[in-house]
Amino acid sequence: MAKKVAAWGIDIGQYALKALRCRAADDGTERVVAEAFDFIEYPKPLSSADADPAALVADALKQFLSRNRVKGDRVVISVPGKDGLARFIKLPPVESKKIPDIVRYEAKQQIPFPLEEVVWDYQQMGAGAIEEGFALDCEVGIFAMKRDQVERALKPFVDAKVEVDVVQLTPLALFNFAVFDQIRDLPPPEQYDPDNPPESTVVLSIGAETTDFVVTNGFKMWQRSLPVGGNHFTKALVKEMKMNYATAEHLKRNASKAEDPKALFQAMRPVFSDLLSEVERSMKFFSNMDRSAKIGKIIALGNAVKLPGLQKFLTQNLGFEVAKPDAYRNLTGPGIVDAPAFKENMLSYGVCYGLALQGLQRAKVGTNLLPGEIIQYRKIRAKKPWAIAAAAVVLIGLAGNYFAYHRTMLSAVEFDGKEFKPEASKVYGLNSNATTWKNDFEEAKSQFLKTKQIGQVFLKNVEGRVLWLEVMRSINACLPRTVPAEFQTKFDKAHPAAARDLKTTLTLRPDIKITEFECKRVDDLAQWFAGVRDNYKAGLDALPEELVPAGVKVAGNAAPQVDEYGNPIGGGAPSADGPSGPGWIFQFKAHHYFNHREDELDRNKFQGLNYLRYYFLPNLLKDEVEIPPQLKKQIEEYNKALVAANKPNDVLKGIPVRKFGIKFPVIIGQGEIKWENTLQVPDPTNPDGVASVQVPRYDFLVQFCWQEMLPGDAAKGDVAAAGR
């Protein structure tokens, strides 16, 4: 008969390494048999200031492997509940086959990190039913942990060359232990009534630094990590009784033999109260969250429960009996469970027990936080011998087939004086000619490409002279030339022509004065755009949708969502669709005098940076702009020539901007509007004099990128032809 698989449950705590090896019972019952255990205490707690946790765990694991054999057994380890995340969600009635997709969507919402940065798993909880392919009353538990934390937990085992099969959260191991060993008389899942569920059991596992609070009725569970543990009792003794840590730890473990037990209890009383407060708060929160739940009993685990008075203190103040198990009901193995060392530390083996149950596939929750790539690698490794054997069989078959055909071929091509020699000679000759022709073709192709490249250089030198003129023409065509009609009406009403002074008349100048112009070529426009992206986005955001041409956009994210703890869920920094590759960056300094701040006028649109955004920026974003009046006559004659030449599709309808390669314009304000700016103009009352008039002035910078068009480009060709 095949040997039954055994499983090791290994719990690496703050004070000791605990391990329990179990296998299924031979009598066919639900019980399991304990075959080995170990309890290895570290020289000092992992949380000590002068401790090296990695070295202490490695030494303990080495000692464990020196006296225990794990090869061939399943190895299940725990990770602290405080390092993981557990979420329980109620799904609406849904097709059972769609549950994985819905859970993945929920995981993205519930887990406050990108899914690629975590290891996560889920399992259906409760007693939901499936009727006609639909899952009803389905509750799902989602469990996750940061990938680097999982790798940190696995590292000691990887270094010791121990293959871990399952990584489980400590609260879930306690849940599996409680359902299997401590909770009795559970109804079948089909008889579970969510409005009148069985009594819930609280498992209170007091560890070194934290206490795991798990409450379950055998079908559902809720868990929380309390920030109070056995180490806090030791620290209280150090503080109140003025002793070193080692002495305080020894006194805590032997409290019943202390000279003054009352003083010992009084020193630890604040920690008793802190633990009680955390438990009461957790029980109240759970009761408010699930009002149909009824708590029946509390099970206490962990060696700290053996502190004199702690069990009685919790029982009296919580109003529930706090019981510590004297034995495990469904765990047998006389040589193990009756061993003095096991009995001494029995309360610390609840987690190991639950882990071993999962290794034996007896656990109610079977989620696994072992990274998927490790599982996939092991599956491939297990199948590799079979794949090699199959490949060898195929190779042998192909080799036999090849030699059979090869022998037949040799019998056909041995043409010394036979009938195949003339035809074979023709084939060899044709093959030789084909090789010669191919070489000649490649040489001719190389010469053609060289000649073409030279021609493009000459052509580009000629065309390039026109391109720069067309850039200037495109910029000139984008400049505002007339006062906006919506402004003119309001202005005329507020300032009749007869009452206007020189200053008022000068502020009606809509034109933009360019004072400096420069450009430079860069190898990667993306670096430039990274520095001006926010300005570009701000300019687009300020425009109404009707002024933003199609195809011009900035991809970004809304304000990030946060979870109940304030941690961001997904999201990230806004990003934009920007330019890339080599190109030119243009910059010009300019100013304008179209700045109005009268109450009856729309000051948000008709002054400073906003005037540019509404009446200059949209032109720079367009594919093409309207032909300026000074070019209309010239281009009309050009278009007539095209129509006469039967080329109506080539008629030029506008001056190209975006089509010409001008993209991503950025307007950068240079400060506040200079309302007291003085402008020297001819004096209308004295033809030979000069008048000083205060006209508000706004200075700004404009930047945009341009990727020059290659010779022959259709858009550039139209403009260049029109210019000629």
pLDDT of residue 714: 41
Sheet of 118-125: strands edge to edge? 84-91, 138-146, 118-125
Q: Does domain 6-370 have CATH number 3.30.420.380?
A: yes
pLDDT of residue 3: 62
pLDDT band at 556 (very low <50, low <70, confident <90, very high): very low
What would the mean pLDDT of 213-230 be, rounded to a whole number?
A: 91
pLDDT band at 682 (very low <50, low <70, confident <90, very high): confident
User: Model-level pTM?
Assistant: 0.55
Higher-scoring residue by pLDDT: 665, 139:
665
What would the mean pLDDT of 635-660 be, rounded to a whole number?
A: 83
Taking 90 as the threshold, does the pLDDT of residue 68 lie above it?
A: yes
What would the mean pLDDT of 601-611 be, rounded to a whole number?
A: 75
pLDDT band at 57 (very low <50, low <70, confident <90, very high): very high
**Burial degree of 87 (CB within 10 A; 0-12, 13-18, 19+):** middle
Range with the lowest mean pLDDT among 251-260, 347-356, 710-719?
710-719
Higher-scoring residue by pLDDT: 485, 221:
221
Taking 80 as the threshold, does the pLDDT of residue 361 lie above it?
A: yes
Per-residue pLDDT reduced to its tens digit, 95-109: 878 888 888 888 888
pLDDT of residue 558: 37
40 Cβ contact list (under 8 Å, min separation 6): 16, 17, 60, 63, 64
Per-residue pLDDT reduced to its tens digit, 380-405: 888 888 888 888 889 888 888 888 88
Interhelix angle for 714-723 vs 629-644, to 10°? 110
pLDDT of residue 560: 40
Are 301 and 324 within 8 A, CB to CB?
yes
pLDDT of residue 132: 64
pLDDT of residue 332: 92
What would the mean pLDDT of 400-411 be, rounded to a whole number?
A: 76
Taking 90 as the threshold, does the pLDDT of residue 60 lie above it?
A: yes
What would the mean pLDDT of 481-507 be, rounded to a whole number?
A: 79
Q: Among residues of the chain, what percentage have pLDDT more than 90? A: 31
Q: What's the CA angle centered on 167, arms 162 and 171, to 5 degrees?
A: 135
Range with the lowest mean pLDDT among 173-187, 485-499, 687-701?
485-499
What would the mean pLDDT of 196-200 be, rounded to a whole number?
A: 88
pLDDT of residue 482: 84
pLDDT band at 252 (very low <50, low <70, confident <90, very high): confident
pLDDT of residue 23: 92
Taking 60 as the threshold, does the pLDDT of residue 573 lie above it?
A: no
pLDDT of residue 78: 93
Higher-scoring residue by pLDDT: 48, 569:
48
SS3 readout for 604-665? CCCCHHHHHHHHCHHHHHCCEECCCHHHHHHHHHHHHHHHHCCCHHHCCCCEECHHHCEEEE
Average pLDDT, the chain: 83
Per-domain residue ranges of the chain: 6-370, 453-549+577-723
Which residue is associated with the tokens 């270094």?
159
pLDDT band at 458 (very low <50, low <70, confident <90, very high): low
* β-bridge mates for residue 6, sequence order: 23
Taking 60 as the threshold, does the pLDDT of residue 33 lie above it?
A: yes
Per-residue pLDDT reduced to its tens digit, 257-310: 777 777 888 888 899 999 999 999 999 998 888 888 888 899 999 988 888 888
- What is residue 459's three-state secondary structure? helix
pLDDT of residue 346: 92
Taking 50 as the threshold, does the pLDDT of residue 41 lie above it?
A: yes
Taking 80 as the threshold, does the pLDDT of residue 463 lie above it?
A: no
What would the mean pLDDT of 564-582 be, rounded to a whole number?
A: 54
Per-residue pLDDT reduced to its tens digit, 621-637: 888 888 877 778 888 88
Q: What's the CA angle centered on 509, arms 505 and 513, to 5 degrees?
A: 140
Are 503 and 520 within 8 A, CB to CB?
no
Measured between alpha carbons, how far is 322 from 317 in angstroms, rounded to an integer? 10
**Residue 40 CA from chain centroid, whole number:** 39
Per-residue pLDDT reduced to its tens digit, 531-548: 888 888 888 888 888 788
